Amino acid sequence: MNPQSPWLRGAVIVAVVFVCQEAVFRGLRIDGIRTDLLLGLGVVTAIVAGAERGAAVAFIAALLGDLFVNTPFGLSALVACVVAFLAGSVQAGIGAGHRWSVPTLTALASALGVVLWALLGTVLGLPGLLGPRLLVVAVVVASVNALVSVPLAVLMRWVFAGVSVAPSAGASRGYVA
Amino acid sequence: MAVSRRSARPRFLIVILVLASMTLITLDLRGGGAIPKVRGKVRDLFAPVQSAAGDATRPVTGFFQGVFQYDQLRHDNARLRAENASLRAQQIQAQYLQQENKDLTDQLKLDFVGDIPTVAARVIGGAESNFELTIVIDRGTAAGVLKGMPVVASSGLVGRVLEVSARQSTVLLLTDPSASVGIQFAPQPAVGVATGQGSGRALEVTLYDPSQEVPGASVAVTSGGAGSPYPRGVPVGRLTAPAKGPGVQAKSLTLDPVVDLGRLSYVDVLIWTPQTHPVTTPAPATSTPGGSPSTTAVRR
Q: Note the pLDDT tens digit of each residue in B249-266.
A: 555 788 889 888 887 888
pLDDT of residue B294: 35
Q: Residue B271: which H helix or E strand, with range? A: none
Instruction: Tell me how close the Cα of A163 comes to any Cα of chain B, in angstroms.
Output: 16
Mean pLDDT over B100-106 rounds to 57
Residue in chain B lying closest to A30 (CA): B68
CA-based nearest residue to A26, from B60, B36, B133 = B60
The torsion angles phi and psi of A155, rounded to 5 degrees, stand at -65, -45
Whether residue B5 is predicted with pLDDT greater than 80 in this model: the reply is: no
CA A22 vs. chain centroid, Å, equals 15
Mean pLDDT over B48-63 rounds to 77
In B, which residues are within 8 Å of A69 by CB distance? Answer: 128-129, 132
The torsion angle over the Cα atoms of residues B225, B231, B235 and B236, rounded to 10 degrees, is: -70
Phi-psi region at B144: left, alpha or beta (left = phi > 0; alpha = psi -120 to 50): left
Whether residue B121 is predicted with pLDDT greater than 70 in this model: the reply is: yes
Tally of CB atoms within 10 A around B102: 11
Whether residue B244 is predicted with pLDDT greater than 60 in this model: the reply is: no
Instruction: Tell me how close the Cα of B248 comes to any Cα of chain A, in angstroms.
Output: 26
CA-based nearest residue to B193, from B291, B107, B89 = B291
Residue in chain B lying closest to A84 (CA): B14
What per-residue string of b and e applies to A113-148 under the rule 16 or more CB within 10 Å gives b? Answer: bbbbbbebbeeeebbbbeeebbebbbbbbbbbbbeb
Between CA B34 and CA B39 the distance in angstroms is: 9
Residues counted in chain B: 300
Task: Say yes or no: A128 contacts chain B, CB-CB below 8 A.
Answer: yes
pLDDT of residue B279: 43
Sign of CA dihedral A54, A56, A59, A65: negative
Nearest to B21 among A32, A67, A74 (CB): A74
pLDDT of residue B99: 60
Nearest to A68 among B3, B128, B162 (CB): B128
Phi-psi region at B207: left, alpha or beta (left = phi > 0; alpha = psi -120 to 50): beta
Mean pLDDT over B142-171 rounds to 90
Between CA A38 and CA A51 the distance in angstroms is: 16
pLDDT of residue A170: 40
Averaged pLDDT in 10-residue chunks for chain A of 177 residues: 77 91 78 88 94 94 90 94 95 78 94 96 88 91 94 92 58 36
pLDDT band at B277 (very low <50, low <70, confident <90, very high): low
Q: How many CB pairs under 8 A join A and B?
A: 168
Mean pLDDT over B223-236 rounds to 84
Indicate the DSSP class of residue B34.
S
pTM of the model: 0.67
In B, which residues are within 8 Å of A74 by CB distance? Answer: 20-25, 28
Cβ contact A25–B43 (<8 Å):
no
Half-sphere exposure (Cβ direction) of A146: Cα atoms closer than 13 Å = 16
Pairing of strands B219-222, B180-186: antiparallel
pLDDT of residue B151: 93
Whether residue B110 is predicted with pLDDT greater than 80 in this model: the reply is: no
Nearest to B28 among A36, A74, A168 (CB): A74
Cβ contact B131–A71 (<8 Å):
yes
pLDDT digits (tens, 9 = 90+) for B172-192: 999 998 898 998 886 667 788
Cβ contact B65–A27 (<8 Å):
yes
Between CA A157 and CA A49 the distance in angstroms is: 7
Cβ contact A24–B53 (<8 Å):
yes
Residue in chain B lying closest to A52 (CA): B10
pLDDT of residue B285: 36
Mean pLDDT over B77-88 rounds to 79
Tally of CB atoms within 10 A around B272: 21
Residue scoring higher pLDDT (B10 or B298): B10
pLDDT digits (tens, 9 = 90+) for B194-204: 999 888 788 88
Mean pLDDT over B109-123 rounds to 75
In A, which residues are within 8 Å of B131 by CB distance? Answer: 71, 117-118, 121, 126, 128-129, 137
Task: Say yes or no: A111 contacts chain B, CB-CB below 8 A.
Answer: no
